[in-house]
Amino acid sequence: MARTFNRQRFGAALLAHRGDLSIRDAAEAAGVGAKTYHDAERGHTEPSVTTLGKLCAWLGRDIWDFFDVEEPVMPVLID
C-alpha cells in the first residue's frame, strides 16, 4: 500500500486552525517560517518531515491524518 500526502487536506487544517491569527503569528506559534507556513497552507509544497512534524504538533494532529492510503491495483489476467 502506498501512502500519498494530501496537501489540500493539510492546508485546510492549517487554515482552519489559524483562525484569526496572521500567517506570521501562526508560523511563529508553530515554530516555522512565515513563507513555509504560507506555502503549506496554500498546498504549494510538501513540507519536510521536520516541518510537517512541527505543524502537526501545532495542530494537535497525527502526521498520518494527512496521508491517503492507495490500495494496489491488481492487473486482470486474460487467458
- pLDDT tens digits for 21-74? 999 999 999 999 999 999 999 999 889 999 999 999 999 999 999 999 877 667
Question: d(Cα 79, Cα 70) in Å, to the nearest integer?
Answer: 28
- The answer to whether 3 and 62 have CB atoms below 8 angstroms apart is no
Q: Would residue 72 count as lying in a domain? A: no
pTM: 0.84
Q: Would residue 12 count as lying in a domain? A: yes
Q: Would residue 22 count as lying in a domain? A: yes
**Which phi and psi angles does 31 have, rounded to 5°?**
85, 25
Work out how many domains the chain is built from and give that number.
1
CATH number of the domain enclosing 27: 1.10.260.40
- What amino acid is encoded at 54 in this protein? K
- pLDDT tens digits for 65-74? 999 987 766 7
